[in-house]
Amino acid sequence: EVQLVESGGGLVQPGGSLRLSCAASGFTFSNYNMNWVRQTPGKGLEWISYIGSGSATINYADSVKGRFTISRDNANNSLYLQMTSLRVEDTAVYYCARDTTLSWFDPWGQGTLVTVSS
C-alpha cells in the first residue's frame, strides 16, 4: 500500500524554524516527483514546493521562496521541508503528495499541523 506519513509539525514563534519530514513506503520513492501542499482555513489549499525524482528540478511558490527549502533522501525514502523565517500566515496543515505519470498529488499524506504564534 502506498503510504506517506508527515511529521515534524508543532508550535513555533514568528521568525523561527521548523523541519518537516515525509516518510514514503509502498512504492519506489526514487522514481517519483514529490510536492508539499499546505491548507489553511482562510486561504484553502496552496501548492508550495516541488522536487524532481533526482532532485535536479526544484520549484517554489512565491509565498515561500527564499524561506523554505525542499529536499529528499532517496536512500531513506524521505522528503523534507526546511522552513525558516516563519510567519503567522504560514500556519497551516502541511501535506506531502506524490506525482504520478497521470496526475500530480496522488496520494497525499495525512498532514502535519504547523502553528506559528507568539
Partner 1 sequence: QSVLTQPPSASGTPGQRVTMSCSGSSSNIGRNTVNWFQQLPGTAPKLLIYGNNRRPSGVPDRFSGSKSGASASLAISGLQSEDEADYYCAAWDDSLNGPVFGGGTKVTVL
The site map against partner 1 for 87-106 (x = CB under 8 A) is --------x------xxxxx
To 5 degrees, how large is the angle CA 115–CA 15–CA 97? Answer: 50
Whether the CB-CB separation of 8 and 93 falls below 8 Å is answered with no
Q: What is the rounded CA–CA span in Å between residue 46 and residue 64?
A: 11
Candidates 10-18, 55-63, 67-75, 79-87; binding stretch for partner 1 (CB under 8 A): 55-63
Query: Closest distance between partner 1 and the C-beta of residue 24, in Å?
Result: 14
Q: What is the rounded CA–CA span in Å between residue 31 and residue 10?
A: 30
Query: Closest distance between partner 1 and the C-beta of residue 103, in Å?
Result: 4
Nearer to partner 1, 15 or 88 (CB): 88
Nearer to partner 1, 39 or 115 (CB): 39
Whether the CB-CB separation of 35 and 20 falls below 8 Å is answered with no
Q: Contact residues for partner 1 (CB under 8 A)?
A: 43-47, 50, 59, 61-62, 95, 102-111
